[in-house]
Structure 1
Amino acid sequence: AAEMEPSSGWDGPTFQPLVVLELASNTPQEAVAWLLSRIRDGAGDDFLSMAECQYIIKHQLEALRAKDETHVPGYSQAKLYPGKSIIRRLQSKGILVQMFPLHDKEELKRLSFSWYRTVRLSLQPLDAIRRYFGEGQALYFGFLEYFTIALLPMAVLGVPYYLFDWENYDKYVLFAVFNLVWCTVLLEVWKRYSATLAYCWGTLSRKKAFEEPRPGFHGVLGLNPVTGRKEPVFPSVSRQLRIYLVSLPFVLLCLYLSLYVMMIYFQLEGWALSVYDEDPTLWTEVLTYIPSIVYAVVIEAVNLLYRYAAEFLTEWENHRRESSYQNHLVLKVLVFNFFNCFASLFYIAFVMQDMLLLRQSLATLLITSQVLNQLMEAFLPYWLQRRRNKKMIRKVLRRRAIEEKELPLAEQVRLEADMSTYLGTFDDYLELFLLFGYVSLFSCIYPLAAVLVVLNNITEVYSDAFKMCKLFKRPFADPAGSIGVWQLAFETISVIAVVTNCALIGMSPQVKAYFPESATQLILWTVAVEHLLLGFKFILAFLIPDVPKHIRVKLAQIEFESLEALKKKVKHLLVVFKLHRKGSEA
């Protein structure tokens, strides 16, 4: 963080900015002086030591809590009480406009050239991404890259399968069997790969047992029985009541509304098909695709609205730890998005049993969602940010009457302050989760799904890299040893994929031919095979260690060396104590 007196220069040789805190233009001087004094008190003398980084600065700022203050100096309406987050209150009252770390122009330029500015067949520079943006962002790009590479075998198999057998919608047994093996092996190999990355980055054994209260957490000031420190306390019973009496009914209501919208879609689909049957022309054939396209757009819009509602509810539940907040938010969003995006496909596949309509609906949903995501995530932010940047740079050049490309520090701060704020990897992982669902659940019916996802992921790598480097403020580093709760989300959908693909295999004409007289026997055999495959999947997950053997050996060596060092320290202290005791006796 940087603190400056009004007389100090922005471009002086001793000024080394790390994090910017932008206060409202009309902030009274007494409020500024009070905030600076609290930052100094909360930071200590080593606030800007060589070992600290932007993440530590953010952590220190968010840990600032009110003590005996009743309000923010100069703002009588900004009430404070013991334990209240100071930064959170300043943000909610509009006193603190924003807080962000500055980009390092030279390092960012080197990262850009090795990442997205040059088209190359090599892998992403994950180590450089990790050094600049942190482990959380690097693991996301690592998973995106790994997921794309893992899709290549399915894409290669899917193209000839689709081209030479596109009219036979029922010949999908081979592809479904491959799907079963693929979605099982994919996640097991990723866990080992991510453990290797986390070990190299030093975050594999990162513990969160003593996680600090999140900035949005509020409560009365109490004593933490573990740490012995004073911090906000909120009754767990009150939180559980909010979850089960408000949040859960709201989620169920949203699921019901989603089901109602799905029924309207099927009515429109039936109407369009009846029009085509009465008058099979080119226009009526195009009409049959309209309900699916409209439904796909509605799904994206409803998912966005629900996301805001889920964030509000999870914030209102007042979770103490950031990890707990994220877990509850992810659960709410995933349950609704999974139901909203896949319920219609399950209905078509297992109730209507219309494989032609299933293929058409899957293709329409997948293509429409990808087009909308690219528009919303890449082109629209790029266009808006380019307009803002050009306007800001013109103002800077006109005011300072310079033509050089390198902006002074003060102007760089103003330019970056106008950039969009990076909201984290939540939406990126959610998009990959839905794409993984489309591929693993029903791609045997539409083999080109893997091809479309590969193309989407390749453009996603470049668009996300460009946004991170050019359109967004630099995010605070997010130390992480894995992709967290998203690993469980992907594993859950892989289990559902086993059930789905087994059911589709059982419904295929090739398998039904072996049971011409007994549908019950076919169902029993399908369920038995599905249970065997699930058992094999869980056994495979148990037998394959999540951490490679050579890394486990290195971790054991580190632990052994730590214990040996501790023993030597204890022996040294005992020798010093004995010498001191002998000296006292003499």
Structure 2
Amino acid sequence: MLVVFTVQDLADFYFSESFFFHWICYLPMIVYALMIVISDKIYRRLALILNDWENYRTDDEYEDFLITKIVLFQFVTAFGSLFYIAFVLRDMKRLQETLATLLITRQVTQNIMETVVPFMIEKLKLSSLTYKMTRSMSDGSLRRHVENVRNKRQSSVEQEESPRTPREGLFTLGSPEGQEVRQRKGLETEKEQPRTLSSIFREDFSLKTERLPLPEFKPSHDSNPELTQAELESVMSVYARPLDDFLEMFIQFGYVLLFSPAFPLAAVCALINNLIEIRVDAFKLCNTVQRPFGRRVKDIGAWQKSMELLGILGVMVNCVLIGQSGLVQRIWPELSWGGQILIIVVLEHVILAIKMIIDILVPDVPHWVRIETAKQEHFRREAFKRESRLLSHTQTPSSDQQNNQPEPSTPDAGPRFNRLDQINRSKRRSITPMVRLSSFTRKPRKDNDDNCID
């Protein structure tokens, strides 16, 4: 960081007055922003290795400590230069230029890294896979194969324009006719394409990923050697966790909140970036990464505490910047230095108190959401009761079976008969595990129940 600042001073000294080379003054900070992105990728691997060595008990602890490591590192690398300029150099103009350069460069770089780079890597892997499939084919068979693919694509477009029912000749995948057609096509194309995907995967095991193991999508010998959806997604990168998306929002929130007096347009830049980010994330999830698995969680975990701490720190930093700018001294010229500090501290506490009151008054879950959730829970319970009644009526024994059951002839057989009846009722499958568990609970013995066998 200090080296970049030295180069920045030299660039300002030589090219600040130049009309054609004034853009060189922004080049050191652009390089510094790229260095932050690269160092984050390197430190990410180190954090994963450290977390694996620390060997936490649960996944929640693992994720929380991983987030803590990465957030601390990102806070220092992303905001360290801004704190140095604001409180050591005390240059507001330079702080404004540095903040604008870092914010815009980081947003553009991350959008490119999220979409363009994975998309190009996927296309390169797919091209390599296609070349391995077709390199042993002759020119004539390759042309026939391409023509068949075009015909299939054209016929599928025509079928979408004029849909037909299965009775009119459109076979479904699960029908016997469709399976016969697929087997016939596989036998016809097997002679023209001797190099199938199974032979390719036996030669090259570099396509194995964490999400989709190799034996799951290895095709059989008699199948049609065409790429399936699973094979297409296997060459994509894995969307393991939403860490990058949360981290991007965290850094953007810090740029807007911590140093907003220096660059008020940072909020506008963040708004424009978020509008673009909606479509960028949609394109990333649908086209550049493997299909992610959803997982139910109760909250966002350690990110909530990180955002709250960043909000408190943002209030302190903004109050210090206001006091450092000389605004209090211009309003009250005769005020001493200690009085200025006291006014800044009082202003900080007032803003923090207002922030706490708003946090208490505004609920985390809106009132209408809680009402709708209660309605759905009520409907679920009522449906459960109705299904339980219907199931209990269908599971009750018939009247003939009840009449054929032997009645206890002696008074001593009464407890024994009740115990056998309870065992028979426990064998019937109930609707919930708790009911099944309660049917097996052991009742306390009575005085006349000594002859009963447990």
Inter-CA distance 270–520: structure 2 relative to 1 (3 Å threshold): farther
Q: 2:13: which partner in 1?
A: 274
1-structure distance, mates of 2:450, 2:351: 74
1-structure distance, mates of 2:324, 2:331: 12
- Measure how far apart 1:511 and its partner are: 2.9
CA distances 1:478-528 after superposition (whole Å, capped 9, x unpaired): 222332221222222111111122222223344320232422211211011
Higher helix share: 2
Inter-CA distance 548–375: structure 2 relative to 1 (3 Å threshold): closer
Inter-CA distance 555–296: structure 2 relative to 1 (3 Å threshold): same
- Measure how far apart 1:347 and its partner are: 1.8
User: Larger RCO: Structure 1 or Structure 2 (Cα < 8 Å, ≥ 6 residues apart)?
Assistant: 1
Inter-CA distance 418–499: structure 2 relative to 1 (3 Å threshold): same
- Measure how far apart 1:452 and its partner are: 2.1
Aligned residues: 320
- Measure how far apart 1:569 and its partner are: 7.3
Verify the 8 A CA contact 1:378 1:467 in the aligned structure 2. Answer: yes
Question: Larger radius of gyration, structure 1 or 2?
Answer: 2
Inter-CA distance 382–272: structure 2 relative to 1 (3 Å threshold): same
What amino acid is the match of 1:543? L
Q: 1:319: which partner in 2?
A: 56
After TM superposition, list the pairs within 5 Å mapping 1:300-315 onto structure 2: 300-315=37-52
Inter-CA distance 297–581: structure 2 relative to 1 (3 Å threshold): farther
Q: 1:498: which partner in 2?
A: 315
Runs of 4 or more off by more than 4 Å in structure 1? Answer: 390-400, 405-410, 550-562, 580-585
Q: 1:521: which partner in 2?
A: 339
Tell me which of 319, 340, 360 is aligned to 1:542: 360
After TM superposition, list the pairs within 5 Å mapping 1:182-197 onto structure 2: none
After TM superposition, list the pairs within 5 Å mapping 1:91-106 onto structure 2: none
Q: 1:424: which partner in 2?
A: 241
Q: 2:351: which partner in 1?
A: 533
Verify the 8 A CA contact 2:118 2:289 in the aligned structure 1. Answer: no
- Measure how far apart 1:352 and its partner are: 1.9
1-structure distance, mates of 2:11, 2:129: 50
Verify the 8 A CA contact 1:378 1:463 in the aligned structure 2. Answer: yes
- Calculate percent identity across the aligned residue pairs: 36
2-structure distance, mates of 1:556, 1:416: 40
Tell me which of 22, 43, 51 is aligned to 1:285: 22
Tell me which of 361, 375, 391 is aligned to 2:98: 361
2-structure distance, mates of 1:389, 1:582: 79
SS of 1:337's equivalent in the other structure is: helix
- Measure how far apart 1:552 and its partner are: 4.7
The CA RMSD over aligned residues, in Å, is 3.9
**Do residues 264 (structure 1) and 3 (structure 2) align?**
yes
What amino acid is the match of 1:268? V
Tell me which of 106, 111, 118 is aligned to 1:381: 118
Unaligned ranges ≥5, structure 2:
135-140, 157-172, 174-181, 183-216, 220-226, 389-431
- Measure how far apart 1:558 and its partner are: 5.1
SS of 1:513's equivalent in the other structure is: helix
What amino acid is the match of 2:126? N
Inter-CA distance 552–312: structure 2 relative to 1 (3 Å threshold): same
Inter-CA distance 581–390: structure 2 relative to 1 (3 Å threshold): farther
> TM-score, length-normalised on structure 2?
0.61
SS of 2:331's equivalent in the other structure is: coil
Higher strand share: 1
After TM superposition, list the pairs within 5 Å mapping 1:413-562 onto structure 2: 413-517=230-334, 518-552=336-370
2-structure distance, mates of 1:339, 1:469: 33
SS of 1:274's equivalent in the other structure is: helix
CA distances 1:109-142 after superposition (whole Å, capped 9, x unpaired): xxxxxxxxxxxxxxxxxxxxxxxxxxxxxxxxxx
What amino acid is the match of 2:5? F
Q: 1:227: which partner in 2?
A: none
After TM superposition, list the pairs within 5 Å mapping 1:108-257 onto structure 2: none
Inter-CA distance 557–379: structure 2 relative to 1 (3 Å threshold): closer
Inter-CA distance 477–393: structure 2 relative to 1 (3 Å threshold): farther
Verify the 8 A CA contact 1:392 1:415 in the aligned structure 2. Answer: no
What amino acid is the match of 1:492? L
Verify the 8 A CA contact 1:272 1:284 in the aligned structure 2. Answer: no
- Measure how far apart 1:290 and its partner are: 2.2
Q: 2:77: which partner in 1?
A: 340
